[in-house]
Amino acid sequence: MDKQELINIAIEARSLSYSPYSHFAVGAALLCKDGSVYVGSNVENASYPLSMCAERNALYSAFMDHKTKDDFVALAVVGDTDSPITPCGACRQVISELFPMNAPIYMANLRGALKETTIAELLPFAFDGSDL
């Protein structure tokens, strides 16, 4: 699967967003080595801290299906932003632990803008188990 196909799946995942407060729908698609794809969208709550981002929903869904970091190939995240969307700080922290450090992360918007990066670039000084 190429990056545009993965981005298109993330765009479709946006339609599952529950975002009545921010009206900011985000979709994510996580590609695995076996070709399976796990999607996520943001799900809000009136108590904002209880909301969940698209990226974490996709990753957690994959883990609940017995996937691990070793299974992941790429992650796409899409939002209706002026420039390519970027994962929030909480998502960066989770991605740094559950996703390969140098696997591609495709950050895109609905206008076709795309930035490819890695979690190593997005969060170079991540907190991890060695810090405990």
CATH code assigned at 17: 3.40.140.10
The total number of structural domains in the chain stands at 1
- Asked if pLDDT for residue 72 goes beyond 90, the answer is yes
**Segment 74-105, tens digit of pLDDT:** 999 999 999 999 999 999 999 999 999 999 99
Which is more confidently placed, 128 or 101? 101
Between CA 89 and CA 117 the distance in angstroms is 15
Torsions phi, psi of 11, nearest 5?
-60, -45
Among 43, 80, 85, 86, residue whose Cα is nearest residue 61: 43
pLDDT value at residue 51: 96
Place of tokens 């670039």: 121
**Residue 87 belongs to domain spanning:** 3-131
- Asked if pLDDT for residue 130 goes beyond 90, the answer is no
Place of tokens 């994962």: 87
**pTM of the entire structure?**
0.96
pLDDT value at residue 58: 98
Residue 129 binned pLDDT confidence (cut-offs 50, 70, 90): confident
pLDDT value at residue 111: 97
Mean pLDDT of 17-29: 98
pLDDT value at residue 79: 98
Computed over every residue of the chain, the mean pLDDT equals: 97
Residues belonging to the active site: 55
